[in-house]
């Protein structure tokens, strides 16, 4: 079993979150803000467990943005943070980068879709197996307050096309 496997029911994850919320409240009542680190940690884990419950409720899946070619075929691409913001890294069969695609930022959906198509791609949505982790942070105690849960797509598992962007 990997660290990404969801092993509990949604109700169990929600019960864990409720216990962690209660731990934070009890810590505050007992020590006021002297227990801020444990109170924050309890809150962080409660948020993660609530997100895990949502994933379980959706059958262990989540919707993710995906890149499609002009024929509606799914492209092996990963949305990454580039120097100037999000960018799609287009990959070959070995997972090596072969190109880059920056989405249009037009406010109008039709204009955005047309501009992306001129660049050779559509942005759509897929549903895939998912898991949740905490990310963010920084150094020292202050870093703890930047931690938040996110949903990630599992590397293996079925992918269902929800919308190919066309």
Cα separations in angstroms, 107 against 83, 110, 123, 157: 22, 9, 15, 34
Ranges of each domain in the chain: 1-57, 61-166
pLDDT (0 to 100) of residue 38: 86
Phi/psi at 17 (nearest 5 deg)? -60, -40
pLDDT (0 to 100) of residue 43: 92
pLDDT (0 to 100) of residue 146: 87
pLDDT (0 to 100) of residue 1: 42
Cα(116)–Cα(113) distance, rounded to whole angstroms? 5
Instruction: Give start and end residues of each alpha helix (H) in the chain.
Output: 10-31, 36-57, 109-118, 140-144
pLDDT (0 to 100) of residue 128: 96
pLDDT (0 to 100) of residue 4: 67
Low-confidence ranges of the chain (pLDDT < 70): 1-4
Cα(63)–Cα(43) distance, rounded to whole angstroms? 25
């Amino acid at each position: 079993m990997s660290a990404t496997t969801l092993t509990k029911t949604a109700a169990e994850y929600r019960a864990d979150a409720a216990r962690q919320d209660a731990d934070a409240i009890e810590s505050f009542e007992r020590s006021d803000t002297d227990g801020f680190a444990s109170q924050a940690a309890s809150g962080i884990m409660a948020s993660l467990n609530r997100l895990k419950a949502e994933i379980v409720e959706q059958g262990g899946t989540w919707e993710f943005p995906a890149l499609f070619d002009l024929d509606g075929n799914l492209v092996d691409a990963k949305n990454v943070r580039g120097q100037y913001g999000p960018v799609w890294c287009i990959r070959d069969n070995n997972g090596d980068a072969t190109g880059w695609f920056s989405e249009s930022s037009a406010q109008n959906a039709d204009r955005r879709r047309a501009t992306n198509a001129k660049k050779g791609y559509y942005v759509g949505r897929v549903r895939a197996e998912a898991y949740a982790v905490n990310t963010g942070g920084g150094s020292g105690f202050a870093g703890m307050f930047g931690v938040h849960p996110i949903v990630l797509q599992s590397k293996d598992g079925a992918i269902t096309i929800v919308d190919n962007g066309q």
